[in-house]
Structure 1
Amino acid sequence: MGKGNKCGLASSLLCLCFFGFFSAPAKAALKKYQFDIQVKNISRLCHAKPIVTVNGMFPGPTIYAREGDRVLVNVTNHAKYNMSIHWHGLKQYRNGWADGPAYITQCPIKTGKSYTYDFNITGQRGTLWWHAHIFWLRATVYGAIVILPKQGTPFPFPQPYRESNIILGEWWNNDVEALVKQGNQLGLPPNTSDAHTINGKPGPLFACSEKHTFAMEVEQGKTYILRIVNAALNDELFFAIAGHNMTVVEIDAVYTKPFTTQAILIAPGQTTNVLVQATQSPGRYFMAARPFMDAPISVDNRTATAILQYKGIPNSVLPVLPQLPAPNDTAFALSYNAKLKSLNSPLFPANVPSKVDRHLFYTIGLGINSCPTCLNGTRLTASLNNITFVMPQIGLLQAHYFNIKGVFRTDFPDRPPTPFNYTGAPLTANLGTTLGTRASKIAFNSTVELVLQDTNLLAAESHPFHLHGYNFFVVGTGVGNFDPKNDTVKFNLVDPPERNTVGVPTGGWVAIRFRADNPGVWFMHCHLELHTGWGLKTAFVVENGKGRDQSVLPPPKDLPPC
């Protein structure tokens, strides 16, 4: 363990250490964790406030495991809110019961109740994360997942000396659930966050926050791996370290072809691992994060900072700030994302589907609907293919598994009902937006190509989309309207980036491919919590296969009731 890190890793105990460095456990095993959801007073800016936490920690504890481990996490809810936990990026093969999104794969854990998430980690290694998946509670309920390779399997890059988790987030001075409720009553977005954070702390650029700064100590000449998670609710973020380059080696727990950069771009839901060499003049250097937004939309544009400090340097030395890209630097964003490519080595191949069985084209739209109960008389809404998703009152997976009628329909359209110039002049019409709990049925083991197209309905904006239960390959992206004739010939089918969350560029499109080999009901949604709440979401119902091990597993006995 790193200096000052005294936790053990006994299989029956929860390791509460989540700052600093981590050394590998001895072998693959059964890992048991206890998550107690509770309210605790936490101070981050000028005063303390009660927030929902896990084990009284903010951020919550890190799950440490090894590829091949079985993990059991017993979640007991002591808070006043219903709760569910999503293990973001874990594929949960045949086991949607452990995926976590409320009213999609489970009903929430009610106050005073418990539920044990029981899952295997198969064929995955790297950095993922977990978070609350109900309302806006993931503002404070989140933590990292670190999956080490199997014993004897080295990293496909130089072995780092040590590692550290860097979790980027947002902080509200007021109760975020109360702000959301107030916004819904007005028919407007809630207030933007009051600060960004690094490992739960905003850094010394904020008033009253000098003591709330994360610092990591490094030794001259050593190489470190930073496991970076964007847990922010609504902001894509730039991240950089003053005076130090970073080498990107992994995204969303998939190894990449290494490349060096002065800054990274990371969307909500995404993870990025970088190597950093401590080869600069000994001193104190700021790590910094601030939003990327290339649309005329209000965001919290304040910069969070942490400190990279060389061993032996006193705290009195003033840190140096990094040069971050401009907040609207679209050119950097597009260039950075274009550099991301799968490693595609014999050990870690990129199995990109070359033949497509099902072509899907989904348009992303924002709009304004009538709302007689709202003070403004209208409410902002969001849709895919002109459908605003309505959350059910029972989990979709339960309804699917037990064949409960009337909960949802499987007629989500493959294409928008009304084609138009998607990224042309700004439009204010909703183009016939309808409400519904509608999903798309997908044949088992079929290959799917999905094009997500941003539109200028109300406003063009970047949207990070997350698909549960799967990784996918990002085979193409562009600005403007997708051209099925000319854009497809430029697809990368050799080494495209493989991930679970992808950013649809502002006024542009992205194309992904995946093989539907995981039966169950799998959520897909914008990872901007604001837009998810407005209905920018849907689900895939992947049918069972014919093989013995190709059907959804039976539900656990302690599955929360509705």
Structure 2
Amino acid sequence: MVMGVSWKQQKVKETPFTRLCSTKNILTVNGQFPGPTLHVNRGDTIIVDVHNGGDQNITIHWHGVKQPRYPWSDGPEYVTQCPIQPGKKFSQKIIFSSEEGTLWWHAHSDWSRATVHGAIIIHPKKGTSFPFPKPHAEVPIILGEWWKKDIVEIYDAFLASGIDPNISDAYTINGQPGDLYPCSKSETFRLMVDYGKTYLLRIINSAVQDILFFAIAKHKMTVVATDASYTKPLKADYITISPGQTIDVLLEANQPLGDYYMAARVYSSADGVVYDNTTTTAILRYNGNYNPSSRPYLPNLPSYNDTNASADFTGSLRSLADDDHPIDVPSKISTNLFITASVNKLPCASGSCDPSLNGSQLAASLNNISFQLPNIDILKAYYNRINGVYGDHFPSKPPLKFNFTADVLPSYLQTPETGTEVRVLEYNSTVELVFQGTNLGAGTEHPMHIHGYSFYVVGWGFGNFDKHKDPSGYNLVDPPLQNTIAVPKNGWAAIRFKADNPGVWFMHCHLERHLSWGMMMAFIVKNGDRPEAQLLPPPPDMPPC
């Protein structure tokens, strides 16, 4: 199936919420915030014509879509394409393969994804069904983050100052902050339900900076999928969802008729880092004749810094791994990578850095390399053999070994190298990658996302990874299959995947400040021997640099 979809980037006035809270314009797709939902079936291919009617460069990324052999439409600026310039367009071919469930699309240039994002719902192939009873209805729940100022102003000020960006003014559920905020009472999102029926909530965290806790008052949720891959049913009072992650839950409407809050608030573990301490709400309302209470029930959400609550939920996910949904965890590993994720400092580059940093600016790194985006996209340089755009010496392990999670670390470890280094992988190589969080700068979670791949999360833990002991505790039976994993604060996470998708594929932290500071790199997966294992040619309308 090939379907044509035409989208237009444009600046529009806000919803009633934003007209009351601020007067700025925002960048949207087709005038919608959040943007339009894409509905496809498993295995479909669609064409999306992206017209940039705004006044800034833009790219669109199809988060979690593997795009077999076709990174040309993947979207990250200066990695797989140059941006779509104002007044220009790009016809993006989106190739769905094994994904089934919920993913999302978002801008992948600067911080435009704050308002340019939307859901992708991948239905089962015709003739097949969910691995659970069909729900009465399916409802996207998009968690977001909102600033009263223009996000471009926030971004520019953040880069110029060299310090943490201004925190958001609100979180949102389906574009609205909820009636705990002063300007959203009439527009708060409401989910109407019938007693006794079951609903599939497709939850997406589109927030720019924060991991979020989410819960529904007096209702348990049953997790059935994450990142478009089915899981064993998991009963939960709350979920922890990282930026970039999607989680599908079944909600049974089994409580007395009334109004109940759905609510989300931040999980923020970094010491000394300020955070948005507000709570966004939507209302779960039962159909029927009754007098609702003056105030809906609020759910019990974990404390903002409850690391154990966050890790306990994430660590409880398991792949469904049944006959109809088999898994294939690589057992013999040909490529071992150990990658540290750190917050660092570099000498001030803008000349206007905040004086509190004494001539420095905050940075971030993977294996002590703070990644610098080139001026020509890496994919074009690789495909056309253009020299000097990137290096291929991203290291297999950090250059210095130290106690990565020590409470106090020497200041000389703070300064990373800078560069544009990629890691080349042989086609069909089997990769084990251990992410190690460090306590440099500020120890915190890092939601790491790999483009072009889903991976099995075979292990995780707190402290320093021990290559002699920790692999004995790996789950190789039913590990969750994800495209985004939150590396625990001052801890580690181990993933495995087979490098069977040739092309250039971005890997980065999905906290935008960390991405902007350089916590990113790219893989180049080489072609296989057979034609069907080789990179497809580019489309004729790739945006120019």
Structure 1 and Structure 2 fold alike (TM over 0.5): yes
* Correspondence for 1:305: 281
CA displacement at 1:429 relative to structure 2: 3.2
Give matches, 1:357-372, under 5 Å.
Answer: 357-371=334-348
Whether 1:486 aligns to 2:469 is: yes
- Aligned equivalents of 2:99, 2:397: Cα separation in 1: 33
Whether 1:266 aligns to 2:241 is: yes
Matched letter for residue 407 of structure 1: V
Query: What is the percent sequence identity of the aligned residues?
Result: 50
Bigger CA drift: 165-174 or 315-324?
315-324
Give 2:10's match in structure 1, choosing from 8, 25, 38: 38
Give 1:76's match in structure 2, choosing from 45, 48, 51: 51
- Aligned equivalents of 1:426, 1:214: Cα separation in 2: 45
Give matches, 1:409-428, under 5 Å.
Answer: 409-427=391-409, 428=411
Contact 1:429 1:457 in 2 (8 A): no
Q: Deviations over 1:374-418 (max 9, x none)?
A: 343221000111100000111111111111110001110001111
CA displacement at 1:316 relative to structure 2: 6.9
CA displacement at 1:183 relative to structure 2: 2.1
- Aligned equivalents of 1:134, 1:429: Cα separation in 2: 32
Matched letter for residue 119 of structure 2: A
Q: With the length of structure 2 as denominator, give the TM-score of the two structures.
A: 0.96
Give matches, 1:284-295, under 5 Å.
Answer: 284-295=259-270
Give matches, 1:96-115, under 5 Å.
Answer: 96-115=71-90
CA displacement at 1:141 relative to structure 2: 0.3
* Correspondence for 1:207: 182
Give matches, 1:39-438, under 5 Å.
Answer: 39-42=11-14, 43-44=17-18, 46-296=21-271, 297-312=273-288, 317-371=294-348, 373-375=351-353, 376=355, 377-427=359-409, 428-430=411-413, 432-438=415-421
Contact 2:341 2:365 in 1 (8 A): yes
Contact 1:31 1:65 in 2 (8 A): no
CA displacement at 1:329 relative to structure 2: 1.4
Q: With the length of structure 1 as denominator, give the TM-score of the two structures.
A: 0.93
Tell me how many residue pairs correspond in the alignment.
534
Q: Deviations over 1:227-273 (max 9, x none)?
A: 00000011000000011100000000000000111100000000000
CA displacement at 1:347 relative to structure 2: 1.2
CA displacement at 1:476 relative to structure 2: 0.4
- Find the residue that maps to 1:294 and give its secondary structure: coil
Distance 1:406 1:307, change over 3 A: same
Whether 1:460 aligns to 2:436 is: no
- Aligned equivalents of 1:314, 1:115: Cα separation in 2: 52
CA displacement at 1:492 relative to structure 2: 0.6
- Find the residue that maps to 1:196 and give its secondary structure: strand
- Find the residue that maps to 1:57 and give its secondary structure: coil
CA displacement at 1:122 relative to structure 2: 1.4
- Aligned equivalents of 1:458, 1:335: Cα separation in 2: 25
CA displacement at 1:34 relative to structure 2: 1.1
Contact 2:370 2:419 in 1 (8 A): yes
Bigger CA drift: 117-126 or 107-116?
117-126
- Aligned equivalents of 1:382, 1:429: Cα separation in 2: 15
CA displacement at 1:46 relative to structure 2: 2.0
Contact 2:431 2:499 in 1 (8 A): yes
Matched letter for residue 397 of structure 1: L
CA displacement at 1:432 relative to structure 2: 5.0
CA displacement at 1:295 relative to structure 2: 2.4
Whether 1:557 aligns to 2:540 is: yes
CA displacement at 1:327 relative to structure 2: 1.2
CA displacement at 1:426 relative to structure 2: 2.8
Give 1:516's match in structure 2, choosing from 474, 480, 499: 499
Q: Deviations over 1:135-166 (max 9, x none)?
A: 00000000000000011111111210111000
Contact 1:180 1:189 in 2 (8 A): no
